[in-house]
Chains A and B, each alone.
Chain A
């Protein structure tokens, strides 16, 4: 699918709004928060989240982060669960094509900013790119300790025993760490961080990533960041090392065996198939196979 041709018609932009929707004072506040977030990797910086023209849960945090960094020379890609063509991804792309006059793309390689909900692209990211995550709950300790005043102290004192206990309880109950998404990570041996609800399959991509990673939680009013080449370790135990999901199946469309697969129910008789969650990766593989067949 070619986003440029689909969404180009809406230009030139809505009038009556500032560039990239947010007013300049809001951008300055967010920009200052982002600089501190980058300076303290994994630490959650509070910011004055604004009401956005979309409901909470639709990526208001990610949209505000993107709005405060984006410029006319940027090329924006937006994915939702890996897909470029879902409602959330399409509307956010349109939003920025309208308000920030940026070029949009579905190509991970061409994009300078990739806003994502719940996936890291399969295509390896490169230097100079920025990955913006939409985060629902930024606090990794929230389900273990409800009070913000306490979780703040726990982070300040690196008092993370309770997190390890919770992972240990998983092993005691299930024989393994049963967390399959939003799997907690330790950043540069300092802060425990929630990587947003990406599958744990994507956790290794966070470590030593050449791209800058920014996380925005609109409802919870927090931003945090991972600068490029930051050490990010998924929590585990020596006798229960971290591992990622594997599938016996391969993608029913492109045959990929190395990508994250979604299980899709196809009928009411138990029929199901597995397909790549990253639509761009799947399309790219399919196109390459088409070319091979054409030349053969």
Chain B
């Protein structure tokens, strides 16, 4: 009985909801800095935001080791991910294809960066933050952005800009980030240049 009460439900319609969620994240990655809202209703485990859970259900499976921020770990989360996604847990950051993190990440270089020949083998980080808003102090430029976009991220540690510069210096290697706050997501692929 206890195991079933731990298990939160996944998508009500796995095929259609995965498609909807994918289009949202495809749009977010193609237009960095723009806000996209998940329309799928989910009751995720407590430490996961609804959009994080939707992204996991859409993108993760047995081929994608996941690194979960220790602060987000709980039996409930692992039960949810194991049952619905069937993804292996990564013991090391560098072994993960995806990571779900609490707040702006530090130590980007500790995640898989891909190789110069296969830069697509790098990790995608799903980072949960408190607030995301269009028109903030961060200026974004790069592919997918007409001229420039601006973004507000909170909390936003100043050290992240330096981390991101390091990530850019490794191009074409480097990680890609999906910011999540509640049901809202923002894409930050490795090609986007950031300044304050």
A interface residues with partner B (beta carbon < 8 Å): 18-20, 24-25, 27-29, 31-41, 43, 45-46, 68-72, 152-153, 155-157, 188, 190-191, 210, 212, 225-231
Which residue of the partner chain A has the closest CB to B63? A29
B20 proximity list for chain A (CB < 8 A): 71
Q: How far is the CB of A44 from chain B (nearest CB, A)?
A: 9
* Cross-interface CB contact of B117 among A28, A33, A35, A156, cutoff 8 Å: A156
- Known interface pairs A25-B61, A31-B59, A190-B172. Does A228 touch B144 (Cβ–Cβ under 8 Å)? yes
Q: Is the CB of A153 within 8 A of B117?
A: yes
Complex Cα gap A190–B168 (Å): 13
Complex Cα gap A210–B115 (Å): 30
Closest 7 CB pairs of A and B: A156-B116, A39-B189, A227-B144, A36-B120, A152-B117, A230-B143, A227-B30
Complex Cα gap A243–B118 (Å): 33
Which residue of the partner chain A has the closest CB to B60? A28
What sequence of 0s and 1s flags, for each residue 106-120 of chain B, a beta carbon within 8 Å of any chain A beta carbon? 000000000111111
* Cross-interface CB contact of B19 among A71, A188, A227, cutoff 8 Å: A71
Q: Is the CB of B172 within 8 A of A38?
A: no
Most buried by B among A36, A39, A226: A39
Which residue of the partner chain B has the closest CB to A156? B116
* Cross-interface CB contact of A230 among B14, B115, B122, B144, cutoff 8 Å: B144
Which residue of the partner chain B has the closest CB to A30? B22
Q: Is the CB of A35 within 8 A of B124?
A: yes
Interface residues of B in 4-19 (CB under 8 A from A): 14-16, 18-19
Which residue of the partner chain B has the closest CB to A152? B117
Complex Cα gap A188–B189 (Å): 14
Complex Cα gap A36–B189 (Å): 9
Q: Is the CB of A69 within 8 A of B120?
A: no
Interface residues of B in 79-98 (CB under 8 A from A): 97
* Cross-interface CB contact of A39 among B59, B115, B176, cutoff 8 Å: B176
Q: Is the CB of B16 within 8 A of A19?
A: yes
Q: Is the CB of B14 within 8 A of A228?
A: no
Q: Is the CB of B26 within 8 A of A35?
A: yes
Complex Cα gap A46–B117 (Å): 11
Q: Is the CB of B116 within 8 A of A227?
A: no
- Known interface pairs A32-B59, A188-B191, A230-B144. Does A212 touch B30 (Cβ–Cβ under 8 Å)? yes
Complex Cα gap A36–B119 (Å): 9
Q: Is the CB of B143 within 8 A of A231?
A: yes
